[in-house]
Amino acid sequence: MNDLCTLFCSIDDFWQTFKKEWEQHLLSFGQKKRGPEPELSISEMMTIMILFHQSNYRTFKYFYLYVSTHLRAYFPKLISYDRFVYIQKTLFIPLFAYLLQNRGVITGISFIDATSIRVCHNKRIRRNKVFGKLAKRGKTTAGWFYGFKLHLVINDRGEILAFQLTSGNISDVSMMETLSKGIWGKLFGDKGYISTEIAQKLFKKGLQVFTNLRSNMKQKLLSWKDKALLRKRSLIETVNDQLKNISQIEHTRHRSPNNFLVNLLSGLAAYTLQAKKPSLNLSDDLNLGLMVI
């Protein structure tokens, strides 16, 4: 359980610092709070949520039963499952801030991509009421889906630099300028990010965009390093795959939009704490030369 204690200490150290700054900006600051405080602390709740996404459990209810049975000594004030699910929405701001604290380092080499987050099967779109006014139909290379899009920017070490959640009908290129704020160097993406106008704006800000070309476009001269890095754009697709299949940010059992967002942020946080991430291991020019060969 050393990993569990390390995880909790990391989260609790962050929360004790962030809580003081956050409460000063609340409208209720200085006022007497109504109602009882949850017996389970925010740090403990965040630990349970992130630990779930690091485990092999596919259903949170079964994982919570495991925690209440085998980890009760570490969470002595554990509340009931229904109560936990009800107050789970209060973790949104702390998890979001925790993600910003664990943001990756800008190395000058970045990759951008978007992946679909389905909320139900296509046959059940008309019956879906949880996300009726939020989710939209979208299309990827895998076909049509109903839900949202997670737009992601990572560095060559597999660390998350920026992310944005939009409805499923938002185009990938429309989010490129927003996601790339503060990022410099080179940005590699697929054909969905082809935009001369946006590329010129980002170039003036110190960010050069590289994408694959469509069949009716003229070839551009690229250095062998840029060609090699463009071929390694699949790195971010590997990250998306791990987020879905290991961190479990996508499933169709949500009964609340708020808990959907908390589940997504918990999965992203679990990935940022992952000891070994997909990376290119670009230590010198020799590695790039081998990639081209």
pLDDT in tens, the chain (293 residues): 558 999 999 999 999 999 988 888 776 655 666 666 678 899 999 999 999 999 989 899 999 999 999 999 999 999 999 999 999 999 999 999 999 999 999 999 999 999 999 999 988 888 888 998 899 999 888 889 999 999 999 999 999 999 999 999 999 999 999 999 999 999 999 988 998 899 999 999 999 999 987 766 666 767 888 888 888 999 999 999 999 999 989 988 888 999 999 999 999 999 999 989 999 887 654 344 444 44
SS3 (DSSP) at 223: coil
Burial class (CB in 10 A: 0-12, 13-18, 19+), 41: middle
pLDDT at 30: 58
pLDDT at 213: 76
pLDDT at 96: 95
Write phi, then psi, for 114 (nearest 5 degrees): -130, 145
pLDDT at 258: 93
Q: Give yes or no for a contact between 195 and 176, defined as CB atoms under 8 angstroms apart.
A: yes
pLDDT at 143: 87
Write down the pTM of the prediction: 0.89
Q: Give yes or no for a contact between 114 and 120, defined as CB atoms under 8 angstroms apart.
A: no
Please, what is the Cα angle at 56 between 50 and 60, to 5 degrees?
60
Tell which residue, 156, 169, 140, has the closest CA to residue 244.
140
pLDDT at 32: 65
Q: E-strand spans in the chain?
A: 109-118, 136-140, 143-155, 160-167, 185-189, 207-211
pLDDT at 221: 64
Q: Say what angle helices 60-70 and 42-54 make with each other, to 10 degrees.
A: 120
SS3 (DSSP) at 146: strand
Tell which residue, 59, 73, 95, has the closest CA to residue 255.
59
pLDDT at 223: 81
Please, what is the Cα angle at 182 between 219 and 270, to 5 degrees?
100
Helix (H) or strand (E) holding 238: helix 234-245
Give the number of other Cβ atoms within 10 Å of residue 97's Cβ: 18
b/e per residue 110-133 (b: at least 16 CB within 10 A): bbbbbbbbbbbeeeebeebebbee
- The alpha carbon of residue 192 and the mean position of all alpha carbons in its chain are separated, in whole angstroms, by 20
Write phi, then psi, for 141 (nearest 5 degrees): -65, -20
Residue 144 to residues 113, 117, 138: CA-CA distances in angstroms?
A: 17, 12, 6
Query: Tokens standing for 81?
Result: 């499952």
Query: Tokens standing for 1?
Result: 């359980």
pLDDT at 22: 85
pLDDT at 184: 94
Instruction: State the pairing for strand pair 185-189/109-118.
Output: parallel
